A = this chain, B = another copy of it.
Amino acid sequence: MTYSDEIQLSTKGFCDVHNITDEVQDIVSKSGIKEGIVCVSCVGSTVGITTLEYEPNLVQDFCELMENLIPHNKPTRHGNTWGDDNGFSHLRSALIGTSASFPVSGGRLVLGTWQQIVFCDFDNRERTRKIYVKVVGEKRE
């Protein structure tokens, strides 16, 4: 069987990192699915989904890494052409990926204590975002 729901977020952009683990777990719980896979996917081309120990220092380290690998002020052909100056956001998104899948066991996400599912908004402005969560599996324990 399958189940799905959405998470909505208001984001500030410029590497705005949100811990969405509880929201994903809530959807898994509501699904009634005990054993399966959950696919967490964000609609958009300037966003990322990954895992991170969600504590403010590491979040800042992560954003600094993104800045080192893909500086926000380095000109891109995309930014120059379309005038929206967010080429860097698209590149960070392609590098990190916009979806990730995790096992569900006994009705719980299989994650470590310090391992949170995070949504990253890499865009250069405020946005409202939708994260689509799809659970596939079975109800038996």
Contact = CB atoms under 8 A, between A and B. Distances in A.
Contact of A45 (B37, B53, B70, B137): B53
A58 to B, nearest CB: 4
A77 B17 CA distance: 16
B44 A115 contact: yes
Q: How many copies does the complex hold?
A: 3
Interface residues of A, number: 59
Given A62-B94, A115-B98, A57 B77 contact: yes
Contact of A58 (B78, B118, B133): B78
Interface of A: 1-2, 4, 35-37, 39, 41, 43-45, 50-53, 55, 57-58, 60-62, 65, 69-70, 76-78, 80-82, 87, 90-91, 93-105, 110-112, 114-116, 118, 132-134, 136-138
